[in-house]
Amino acid sequence: MKTALKLAYRNLVGAGLRTWLNVIVLSFSFVVIIWLKGILVGWDYQAKSDMTNWEIGGGQYWHEQYDPFDPFTLAESHALIPEQFSEEIAQGDMVPVLMVQGTLYPQGRMQTVTIKGIDADQDIFLLPTNKLDTVVDAVPAIIGAAMAESLHLTEGDLVTLRWRDAWGTFDAMDIVITDIFSSNVPSVEAAQIYIPLELLREMTMMQDEATILTFRDPELSRPAVQGWIHKPKNVLTASVDRMIKTKTAGQSVFYAILLLLAMLAIFDTQVLSIFRRQKEIGTYIALGYTRREVVGLFTVEGAMHSILAAVVGALYGIPFLAWQAKVGWTIPMDAGDFGMAMAQTLYPVYSAGLVVSTILIVVIITTIVSYWPSRRIAKMNPTEALRGRIQ
Amino acid sequence: MDKNEIIQIKELKKIFPMGKSEFTALNDINLSLGKGEFTGLIGPSGSGKTTLLNIVGSLDTPTSGEAWVLDQSIGKLTAKEAAQLRKKNLGFIFQSYNLLAVHNVFENVEFPLLLLKIGAAERRKMVMDALEWLGLTDKVRSKPPQLSGGECQRVAIARAMVKRPSLVLADEPTANLDAANSHHILQTMVKLNEELKTTFLFATHDEKVIGYLKRKIYLFDGKVAKDEWVTSNQTAK
């Protein structure tokens, strides 16, 4: 084995440009695979952290009637905030949100919305609720960019909003759009309108009431509260986890295609080598190598390509990947056009497991694709090989 | 096998399949070669000299009959045993040198010693000795494409001789060389044969080589046509 390693090394170094071309192609595959996988993992992380920052905080209490998939439950999903949360709310570590159904009438059209009352001073969510603390002639409201685009609304527009109060009576008034925000969480933007909590409570006659309570600290132990259902963070992010799991299968296909492309380069080199280096193979055998040892030598050579590629890849890949993790990759077109939750700039996340597994998989597969064509050597007649006759 | 004999061949036959028919390359060969001989298998193309050389070199096996080389029956050797025989006891010199193009002169000559797992210091000494015999010490770091044909063949001889084999098999060693280089190479081989007592067996039809041989075995149509010894004053030396 030591001899094979030494000879393989000499053959690779001696082959010069041919070796380096293969190594560079393979190292490029290493870096691209890790980078791309990092982007996909980063996207998943981002989806989860965006969801935390924009929608669920450190966990929530839901009113027992509240069902986010059934808007009709909103009429019953409100109750007085339990006394035990007063202090946490006063400290800003819990944000109550009151939700009611409403209808928006932009430019004579009609759009059913969920009206969310939220404290303008809150800082658990990234929502620009400070823009609700604005003195205007109508009710200040903020909406997401996606909805603003579909309804052709811009900042400063006046729109009529209709809702029903606690007794089921319809009422309406004008709101003014004080801010349009962009998030990567569609459920925060789609058909949602945010107005000051106290104002909504007055409008609906639901004083001191809320639909959901979002807390900041996910680590604190949370007691069961009558009439409210505790939803820990991991329960609220379960849907994202399931989505990531589904996406992982798709990513694996992508990963396999990239690997396949890299392996084609090695396979091609090995097949060519076996035809071009017949005389050399015959010489090895004449000098005392068995055919099996020659197969071993060619296999080690192939495997060494991948190890050299890992070293070369590390030389330029580590700075490149680190730089990418810092500045991220900005998608050259509007991410919103893809119709899915995606940040405009994705920050790749690389785990040690990703790097090690990529290197291991590439080295193992390279060894296999090197061994595969090398088996032809075992069938070669050494006297024919010595003359370099193609068989 | 006589203890002075290095090769003994009895009723050896080699038949190659040619589609549905067969081609008899060697037919009823009976020969023996003693230690230290400088012998050539002479004959036109297709006479069977390279086939016989390949069988002696354990690169091929006889169809029938026996070929004993250094007390080992070639036809009965496993692939591993044949490789061991070549690795330890045989040196090969080829018409087209068969040097490893990506290795330099030192590495080419060192190759057989690597296979024998000889230590680095001893390996270096043996390689340098071999290169000194062949006058190649100034080409140690050169690669085959940078050498002339004569230099390449000298490297091939150094590679064949470096492990001090019992038998060197040379297949048309001068076919790609001009006259001056051919004579230089042959004189070197004669010197090595005399100083190191290495047995040389050639396959050739080159008159220049034939002129240096001490024993000439003529093959024709796969059979030994003539086997003659040359007195010392008849050789080209």
- Whether A235 is covered by a domain: the verdict is no
User: Residue A232 falls within a domain, yes or no?
Assistant: no
Q: What is the pLDDT of residues A11-30, one digit of tens each?
A: 888 878 888 888 888 888 88
Asked whether residue A222 is domain-assigned, the answer is no
User: Rg of chain B's alpha carbons, rounded to an integer?
Assistant: 18
Question: What number of CA atoms fall less than 13 Å from residue A138's CA on the CB side?
Answer: 15
- The 10s digit of each residue's pLDDT in B33-86 is 999 999 999 999 889 999 999 999 999 999 999 999 999 999 999 999 999 999
pLDDT, position A358: 82
Better-scored residue on pLDDT, B200 or A351: B200
Q: Check whether residue A31 and residue A75 sit in a common domain.
A: no
Which domain does A26 fall in, by range?
Answer: 2-52+240-386
In a shared domain, residues A269 and A178: no
pLDDT greater than 60 at residue A335: no
Domain boundary residue among A168, A200, A216?
A: A216
For residues A47 and A116, state if they share a domain.
no
Same domain flag for A33 and A76: no
Residues A48 and A142 placed together within one structural domain of the fold: no
Distance, CA of A102 to CA of B208 (rounded, Å): 109
| A269 shares its domain with A192 | no
Q: What is the mean pLDDT of chain A?
A: 87
pLDDT at residue number B174: 87
Residues A206 and A349 in one domain: no
Cβ distance A192 to A142 under 8 Å?
no
The token duo for A122 is 């809150």
Same domain, A66 and A182: yes
Task: Confirm if A141 and A129 have CB atoms less than 8 A apart.
Answer: no
**ipTM for the complex?**
0.91
Instruction: Assess whether A245 and A378 both reside in one domain.
Output: yes
Is residue A330 predicted with pLDDT exceeding 70?
A: yes
Picking from B77, B86, B118, B123 by the largest number of A CB atoms within 10 A of its own CB, the best residue to mutate is B86
Q: What sections of A17-104 are H helices per DSSP?
A: 17-51, 86-90
Asked if residue A338 has pLDDT above 60, the reply is no
Residue contact A287–B86, C-beta within 8 A:
yes
Both A186 and A322 in one domain: the answer is: no
Interface of chain B against chain A, CB under 8 Å?
Answer: 50, 54, 57, 59-60, 79-80, 83-84, 86-88, 92, 94, 96, 98-104, 107, 111-112, 114-117, 143, 159
- Provide the token pair at B111: 């190759």
Q: Summarize the confidence of residues B121-130 as an average pLDDT.
A: 95
Specify the pLDDT at position A83: 92
Q: Specify if A251 maps to a domain.
A: yes
Residue A226 lies in a domain: no
Which has the closest alpha carbon to B201: B160, B147, B231?
A: B160
Window from A253-267, A350-364, B127-141 with minimum mean pLDDT: A253-267
- pLDDT score of B1: 63
> Which residues of chain A are within 8 Å of residue B111 when distances are taken between CB atoms?
7, 287
pLDDT for position A187: 84
Same domain, residue pair A108 and A199: yes
Could you give the number of structural domains in chain A? Answer: 2
The maximal CA–CA distance of chain A, rounded, in angstroms, is 100
Closest-CA distance, A11 to chain B, in angstroms, reads 6
The token pair at A191 is 């058909």
Among A38-42, A313-317, B36-40, B45-49, name the one with the lowest average pLDDT: A38-42
CA of B136 vs chain A CAs: smallest distance (Å): 20
Residue A336's closest CA among A130, A149, A202?
A149
Residues A295 and A253 in one domain: yes
The number of beta carbons lying within 10 Å of the beta carbon of residue A24 is 16
Which architecture does CATH list for B35-65+75-234?
A: 3-Layer(aba) Sandwich (3.40)
> How many angstroms separate the CA atoms of B159 and A50, rounded?
69
For the segment B192-207, the average pLDDT, to the nearest whole number, is 92
Does residue A332 have a pLDDT over 90? Answer: no
